[in-house]
Amino acid sequence: MTEYFTEHESAQAVIARLQQCDDPRFQQIMTSAIHHLHAFVKEVKPSMHEWRQAIDFLTRTGQMCDDKRQEWILASDTLGVSMLVETINHPASDGRTEATVLGPFHVADAPLLAMGDDICQDHKGLPCVVSGQILDLDGAPIEGAMLDIWQTNNDGFYDVQQPDMQPPMNLRGRFLTGADGRYHFRTIKPISYPVPTDGPVGAMLTRMGRHPYRPAHIHFIVTHDSHEPLVTHIFANGDPYLQSDAVFGVKKNLIVDFQDEDDPQLAAKLCVNTPFCRARFDVRLAPKPRGEPAKSLT
Amino acid sequence: MTEYFTEHESAQAVIARLQQCDDPRFQQIMTSAIHHLHAFVKEVKPSMHEWRQAIDFLTRTGQMCDDKRQEWILASDTLGVSMLVETINHPASDGRTEATVLGPFHVADAPLLAMGDDICQDHKGLPCVVSGQILDLDGAPIEGAMLDIWQTNNDGFYDVQQPDMQPPMNLRGRFLTGADGRYHFRTIKPISYPVPTDGPVGAMLTRMGRHPYRPAHIHFIVTHDSHEPLVTHIFANGDPYLQSDAVFGVKKNLIVDFQDEDDPQLAAKLCVNTPFCRARFDVRLAPKPRGEPAKSLT
In chain B, what residues touch A200 (CB-CB under 8 Å)? none
Q: What is the rounded distance in angstroms from the CA atom of residue A97 to the CA atom of residue A62?
A: 33
Q: What is the CATH number of the domain that holds B199?
A: 2.60.130.10
H/E segment holding residue B24: helix B24-44
**What is the tens place of the pLDDT at every residue in B2-33?**
468 889 999 999 999 999 999 999 999 999 99
Mean pLDDT over all residues of chain A? 94
Residues 6+ apart with CB under 8 A from B158: B105, B150, B151, B152, B171
Does B29 reside within a domain? no
DSSP state letters, B187-236: EE----EEPP-SSHHHHHHHHHT---EE--EEEEEEEETTEEEEEEEEEE
Domain of B180?
81-285
Within-domain flag for B35: no
A85/B38 Cβ within 8 A: no
What integer pLDDT is reported at residue B297 of this predicted model? 55
CA distance A5 to chain B (A): 6
**A11, A63, A84 member nearest B63 (Cβ):** A63
Q: Which residues in B lie closer than 8 A to residue A61 (C-beta atoms)? A: 58, 62
Is A33 within a domain?
no
**Strand partners of residue B127:** B188
Query: Closest partner residue to B32 among A40, A65, A208, by Cβ?
Result: A40
Q: CA of B245, closest CA in chain A: separation in Å?
A: 9
Q: Looking at residue B1, what is its pLDDT?
A: 44
**CA–CA distance from B41 to each of A87, B109, B290 (Å)?**
11, 44, 45
Q: Name the residue among A156, A128, A125, A127 with its Cα closest to residue A280.
A: A128
* Residue A131 counted as domain residue: yes
A55 falls within a domain:
no
**Do residue A80 and residue B22 have CB atoms under 8 angstroms apart?**
no
pLDDT, tens digit (0-9, with 9 covering 90-100), for A123-162 = 999 999 999 999 999 999 999 999 999 999 999 999 999 9
The whole-angstrom distance between A247's CA and the closest CA on chain B is: 9
Q: Which amino acid is at B294?
A: A
Instruction: Express each pLDDT in B54-106 by its tens digit.
Output: 999 999 999 999 987 899 999 999 999 999 999 999 888 889 999 999 988 89
Q: Nearest chain B Cα to A77, which residue? A: B14
- A46 lies in some domain: no
Residue A1 has pLDDT above 50, yes or no: no
Is A189 a residue whose pLDDT tops 60?
A: yes
In angstroms, how far apart are the furthest CA atoms of chain B?
83
Nearest chain B Cα distance for residue A266, angstroms: 35
A76: nearest CA in chain B?
B55
Average pLDDT over residues A256-282: 97
For testing the chain A interface, which of B85, B106, B205, B211 should be mutated: the one with the most A CBs within 10 Å? Answer: B85
Total domains in the fold of chain A? 1
Q: Which residues of chain B have pLDDT under 50?
A: 1-2, 298
Question: Is-contact A236 A249, C-beta < 8 A?
Answer: no
A105, A221 in Cβ contact below 8 A? no
Q: Mean per-residue pLDDT for A256-280? A: 97
Compute φ and ψ for A267, nearest 5 degrees.
-60, -45
User: Has residue B163 been placed in a domain?
Assistant: yes
Of B163, B173, B154, B61, the C-alpha closest to B107 is B173
Which residues on A lie below 8 Å from B27 (Cβ)?
208
A183 located within any domain: yes
Which chain B residue is nearest to residue A242, measuring alpha carbons? B4
The answer to whether A127 and A182 are in contact (CB under 8 A) is: no
Q: Is the pLDDT of residue A38 over 60?
A: yes
Interface test with B, best of A19, A34, A41 (most B CBs within 10 A): A41
* Cross-chain CB nearest to B80 (options A5, A43, A87): A5
